[in-house]
Structure formats: C-alpha cells, structure tokens
Copies of this chain bind each other. A is one copy, B any other.
Amino acid sequence: MSGVDQLVDGVLAGDTRSLARVISIVEARGGDAEAILSRLAKHLRGRPVIGFSGPPGSGKSTIIGRIGEYLKGNGLKVAVLAIDPSSPFTGGAVLGDRVRMVSISSTPGVFIRSMATRGARGGVVAYVRAVLRVLDAAGFDVILVETAGAGQTDVSINDVADVVAVVVTPDIGDSIQAIKAGLLEIGDVYVVNKADDSRSSYTASMLEAMLGRGGDRPVVLRTVATRGEGVDVLAETLLRKWEQLKSGGGLQARRRRQTIAEVAALIMEDFRVAVERFSTDEEFVSEVERLIAEGFDPKVVSRKMMDSILEWMKKVKI
C-alpha cells in the first residue's frame, strides 16, 4: 500500500494524525496533493461549511468555540478552519484570547486547524477549498471557517463557505462606513456580539434597517459569547439557513459559483508559475531585449512573446 493510500485510509478512518498530515500536504501544494484529493473526491459528503467574518476583536473565535461545544454536545463531529492571521487559533493572540483558545483546543471532538495565507502568491481560495474538502471527506458533520473582515484577508468568506455569519460589536453603530464597506453583502446572519453593552440594541436595529425588508433578508442576532448567551440560537439559525438553502437550490448555486472561481484561480496560478519561469529563461530574456532594442513598445513585445509562451505551455504541460 502506497503512502498516499495509507494516508487516505487514515483520514477516512478518522485518524487525526493522518488528517493533519494530509492537510499539510494539501496546504503546501505538495506533490501528492492531487492524488490524495482525487481519492478523497468520491468520499465527499457535502456537509455544511459555515463561515464567520468580522473585524478583529469582534469575538469570532469565542463564538466559534462556543458553537463548536454546542454542536458537539448535540453529537456532531465539528472541525474549525481558521484562515484569519490574527485569529487566536492561528497563534496571533492576545493573552485573553489564548486562554479561550486553549479551552477550545482541549474540547475533545472538535478538530482545529489554522492555515497561513499571508504572503501566498495566488490561488489561495483553491487551497482553502481543497482543505475544506479534506475535512468534509474526513467525516466532520459541520465545518466552521474563520476569516478576518472584508479586505483583510486573501480569501473572501463567500468564496469558501456555504453560509456566512458576520460578527460585529455594539460600537460598530458609530462607524457605519465599516458596515457599508462590503459587510452588508456578505452575510446570511448578522451577529451583534458583546450584547451586554448598552449600545447593542441600537446597533441591531440599525443593522436591520440597513439590511432592508423581505423574506430573504439576513437575520440579526445578539450574543454574549464569553458567557455563551445566544450561541445555541445562533448555531441553530445557521444550520436552519443551510438546510433552507439546500432544499431551495441556493446551496448548489453557491457551490457551483465557488467551484468555477476555484478552477479559474488554479488556472491563473498555473499561468503565474509559467510566466515566472519564462521570465527568468535566458532565451526569453534575450528575445525581449532584442525586440526592445529594435524599438518595439513592451506591450507589442508582450504580444509577440505570447505565442511562444502558449506553445511552451502546451509542450511542457505545466
């Protein structure tokens, strides 16, 4: 039995060590990643991927930890994937957060994994989705994904999650700009956390007003995650939303859109690698220099070189 077979069998049997190893291979774009993913493909279960987004300090990690505990208490196997570089799961924590992280980590039955995307050159969304597929095939019933707020990560939560919760704090009422900057488009559920703050009902009302009316309007909930208040309602709301989306066909549409974006990102990544290799190739460099010396504008040169790059890509099957 090959190493790949052993790892895949391990993942399917629920072995945490095999799972961690496989995720590392997929994350590092290792040579075996493709073989592993291809073998796991027939074991996909399509379980809910629930995303959490929001500004640093809004309490996303605490909420995720509480939801993890709640779902586990209901007999579900839960995985957490943190792709927020400032997440306590990822290690970028202040002391209080780290304490909470330990409490989650020590919750048996909740698998926690962080993923570094900072500095990745491209195609990050494809690698996040690949890791999510590994977790899905590994038999987790619910996968929780944490990202930083809009514009703060390389991955938009809507590109990787089925259903999205946006977590804000009561004081966001003062900074409507932050809300307007993309937050209103991305959430299925809005959470005003730290709702023991007196401003929380104002903030919730304002959010509801901004989200408008209608049957499909996102829900606004309030939580005090540190004390676990409102977290069970939030968890149930998110799962219900997921079931509704699934039965209504919306889930398939979202996943289809994500898959196309993922394939496009993978193709772009191949192009990027090809151009990078090509532009350090001696023949390419001297041909470019020759054309420039002849007085061609770089735009013309780029078009002249395109054919040879395309030919080369066909040949090397990059």
Residues of A within 8 A of B (CB): 33-34, 37-38, 41-42, 126, 129-130, 133, 256, 259-264, 266-268, 270-272, 275-276, 278-279, 285, 288-289, 292, 295-303, 305-307, 309-310, 313-314, 317-318
Pairwise interchain contact A306-B297, C-beta atoms closer than 8 A:
no
Are the C-beta atoms of A296 and B259 separated by less than 8 Å?
Answer: no
Contacting residue for A295 out of B42, B271, B275, CB 8 A: B42
Q: How far is the CB of A256 from chain B (nearest CB, A)?
A: 6
CB closest residue in chain B, given A274: B271
Interface pair B301/A263, CB less than 8 Å apart: yes
Contacts known (A272-B268, A309-B267); A126 close to B299, Cβ less than 8 A: yes
Q: List chain B residues, Cβ under 8 A from A297.
A: 34, 37-38, 41, 130, 133
Contacts of A317 in B (CB 8 A): 303
**Contacts A268-B275, A285-B260, A305-B267; is A38 near B313 (CB within 8 Å)?**
no
Interface residue from B259, B268, B270 paired with A298 (Cβ < 8 Å): B259
A266 engages B129 (CB within 8 Å): no
Q: Are B292 and A264 in touch, CB under 8 angstroms?
A: no
Question: Looking across the interface, which residue of chain B has its beta carbon closest to that of A285?
Answer: B260
Find A299's partner among B130, B268, B271, B318 (CB 8 Å cutoff).
B130
A302 to chain B: closest residue by CB: B266
Give Cα A3 to B292, complex, Å.
25
A interface majority secondary structure: helix
In angstroms, Cα B42 to Cα A292, docked, is 11
Given contact pairs A33-B299, A260-B279, enumerate 5 new A-B contacts (beta carbons under 8 Å).
A130-B297, A264-B275, A267-B306, A306-B318, A307-B314
A95 to chain B, nearest CB (A): 22
Residues of B within 8 A of A288 (CB): 259-260, 263
Q: With a CB–CB cut-off of 8 A, which chain B residues contact A270?
A: 302-303, 306
For A296, list chain B residues within 8 Å (CB). Answer: 38, 41
Separation of A306 and B271 alpha carbons in the complex (Å): 10
User: Given A37-B297, A271-B271, A271-B275, do A263 and B126 touch, yes or no (CB 8 Å)?
Assistant: no
Give the distance to chain B from A30, nearest Cβ to Cβ, in Å: 12
Determine if A275 and B267 form an interchain contact, defined as CB atoms under 8 angstroms apart: yes
The interface residues of chain B lying within 8 Å CB-to-CB of A41 are: 295-297
**A299 CB contacts on chain B under 8 angstroms:** 33-34, 37, 126, 130, 266
